[in-house]
Structure 1
Amino acid sequence: MNTELTAEKTTQLKGQLTPSKIMQVGMGFWASKALLSAVHFELFTLLGPGPLSAHDIQEKLSSKASIRHIYDWLDTLVSLGFLERKGLLDQAVYSNAEDTDFFLDMKKPGYMGGILEMANNRLYKHWMNLDEALLTGQQQNESKDDPHGNMDFFSKLYQDPGKLQEFMNAMSGIQTGNFIALSNKFNFDNYSSLLDVGGADGWLSIQVCLHHTDIQCTTFDLPPIEPLAKKKIESYGLKDRIQFMPGDFFKDELPKADIIVMGNILHGMNEEGKLQLLDKVFKTLPDGGVFMTVENIIDNERRQNTFGLLMSLNMLIENGDAFDYTLDDFKNWTSRAGFKRVELLPLSGPTSAAIAYK
């Protein structure tokens, strides 16, 4: 009797279950690569001026694929919401969806495709080795077999202006919405100076200065980045309010400032490195000073911020022992350094600013 009831309940349960979530995530790389290929081919920039037919797109891409497969690719992007379409097959014309037109047209100021370019050119192939990373605890990027480790990847990166610019574009792209949100949500008017540690091409400093007229900003990063940063800062007419200071935040003293910010920096270290850097930040700040880290802060219950958890796995791929963290983690580390209190400021999507007050 019990066996029959169990079998009956099992049959009912099976009738309610669906494998759609399993298939959607398990085969998710199909959709991802369709989008990344579109970014690689600059499809959304191509469609920026107006709609095109599949034949027009095929010709502009010099594609030798069959027109049927071009339809399949474009209609996949339609089904995913990245393109819009009028007509069908030979009668169809394609145009950008509103969000892709704003964020993925290289000729528009909202372009954030740099991170997707890097995902296509670098991260996609490295993530194929996640299995090995989980077994060995070792990074799987370009420095995988290099005795100098991950830092040698950066030294090689800085020797190639093209790859360095791509990396800067990626870092700016992934943070654009967050930096704008931070500039709008936090009252920078109460402070006179800001230091962006590991500030790359100065994008955070630019956004803060565009929204707050009295603050002076310093972007602190390695010397090879200086010409890229100065060019970008000057293009916004902010060279009188933003200075680039070359240096290594591991080795050099940090410049003094009322606010010290790090965007996607702290997660790239192991716990020992995080504590050492927080101690340096605390000693640099004046009483009443503020430290902010702009990252994909994982929720304390570790159930909701999937992107933050995946970013932590990306740190395994990139750095081996580095990881993302929760607000409770941040509170523990900053308390050990001497900070009085912390708060969380939600920004864009999965990203927040974890803020510590001295």
Structure 2
Amino acid sequence: MENNQPQATPESIMQIGTGFWASKILLAAVKFELFTTLSEKKSMSAVEIKAHLGLKCTDRNVYDFLDALTTFGFLNREGLLATARYSNSSNTDFFLDKKKPTYIGGLLEMLNNRLYQFWGNLEEGLLTGLPQNEVKSGENPFDALYADQDRLKEFIQAMSGIQMGNFMAFSQKFDFSKLKTLVDIGGSAGLLSLLVAKHQPHMHCVTFDLPAVEPIANATIQHYQLQDRVKTAIGDFFKDEFPYADIVVMGNILHDWDEETKLMLMKKAYDALPDGGAFVVIESIIDDERNKNAFGMMMSLNMLVETGKGFDYTFADFNNWAKTVGFKSTSIMPLTGPSSAVIAYK
């Protein structure tokens, strides 16, 4: 009798189990600004890269590092070992050159500088339900973040990096034809407001965040030369009412908090909207069957590591909360990769 069962293989187990190896290789390359250097130089040999980065390991170690990046598709290579010359792939040249506005490495920098070590304590987070970041040493990560301008800039660059593609897609795919004003709650550097204003010339946008963020947002607005249609507003979304607008947006905000806080923020958004207005959340929305969007579930576990109580959610979850708050209908719009916009209409 034939056995039609597929043959067992450990390949996927080992791929995931050693995944942090691959992750650290990429994060090290970003920390070294390798892709920025290669964008400038066009191509370099391993020996040239070794000297430029000040690496003290053997040439063989450098070959392994660069060839692993090549195998992953992050570098192109002509030649082999001592004769090889390395250059950026199209993706790394576009997204990981620090001098380009499309740079998304801010997120990778934060992953390397903070989250890599904190995720090492995931088991403790699951056992205790407590955050595993700076809180463990008695430090409030948000207080520390907003008190240190360099850390704040790194965090804002990280958030901009993870959402750049989503904000671009949303600004072009969403129907703004009947809307005139937008407020982005927790708007950080103002990227979403700027991209909407850029692609929708009739829209006037406000990016709403804490006082420490305003100089960073104003500098970004100045860079885009959209001061006439994008403004900043200072406020705390826990303490203050939201500015009134036709559309209220939150990008990577709602998932930080527990269900009670999520409902409170959604009610504030509801109160800031006119009839027919839209509340939009842009995050890694988990599929309703919870078996496809692995990134969304990993992001939800990241909220355990970072906040202890926050979590990502499905469209079905969002629907239930929207009905509880009083919104009359909802929809979902896929954006880039694992992210979507969930929309509730008043």
Q: Which residue of 2 aligns with 1:309?
A: 297
CA deviations on 1:107-136 (whole Å, 9 max, x unpaired) are: 112111100000000000000000000000
Q: 1:1-358 counterparts in 2 under 5 A?
A: 16-49=7-40, 50-146=42-138, 152-358=140-346
String of CA shifts for 1:25-50, please: whole Å, max 9, x gaps: 01100000000000000000010020
2:332 & 2:264 partners in 1: Cα distance? Answer: 22
Secondary structure of 2:232's aligned partner: strand
Cα distance in 2 for residues equivalent to 1:181 and 1:234: 22
Q: CA deviation at 1:156?
A: 1.0
Q: Aligned with 2:134: secondary structure?
A: coil
Larger Rg over CA atoms: 1
What secondary structure is seen at the aligned counterpart in 2 of 1:285? coil
Q: TM-score, normalised by structure 2?
A: 0.98
Deviation at 1:17, TM superposition (A): 1.1
Secondary structure of the equivalent of 2:320?
Answer: helix
Kindly indicate whether the alpha-carbon contact (under 8 Å) linking 1:209 and 1:216 is maintained by their aligned counterparts in 2.
Answer: yes
Which amino acid in 2 is paired with 1:40? K
Structure 2: how far apart are the matches of 1:206 and 1:57?
37
1-structure distance, mates of 2:239, 2:304: 24
Q: Are the counterparts in 2 of residues 139 and 318 from structure 1 also a CA contact under 8 Å?
A: yes
| Shift, 1:158, TM fit | 1.3
Deviation at 1:145, TM superposition (A): 3.6
Counterpart amino acid of residue 127 in structure 1: W
Number of residue pairs aligned between Structure 1 and Structure 2: 345
How many Å apart are 1:267 and its aligned residue? 0.3
What is the DSSP-based 3-state SS (H/G/I as helix, E as strand, rest coil) of the residue aligned with 1:190? coil
TM-score by length of 1: 0.95
Q: Secondary structure, in 3 states, of the residue corresponding to 1:144? A: helix
Deviations along 1:302-341, one digit per CA (max 9) or x if unpaired, are 0000000000000000000110000000000011000011
Separation of aligned partners in 2, 1:110 and 1:281:
30
Query: Aligned Cα RMSD in Å?
Result: 1.2
| Secondary structure of 2:135 counterpart | coil
Alpha-carbon offset, residue 273 of structure 1: 0.3
Q: Which runs of 5+ in 2 are unaligned?
A: none
CA distance, structure 1, for counterparts of residue 55 and residue 327 of structure 2: 58
> 2 CA distance for matches of 1:93 and 1:85?
6
Q: Deviation of residue 189 (structure 1)?
A: 2.7
For structure 1, the residue ranges without an aligned partner over 5 or more in a row are none
Query: 2:116 corresponds to which letter in structure 1?
Result: Y
* CA displacement at 1:70 relative to structure 2: 0.4
Identical columns (%): 55
Between the aligned partners of 1:141 and 1:107, the Cα distance in structure 2 is 30
The structure 1 segments of at least 4 consecutive aligned residues displaced by more than 6 Å after TM superposition are none
Cα displacement (A) at 1:144: 2.1
> Helix, strand or coil for the counterpart of 2:184?
strand
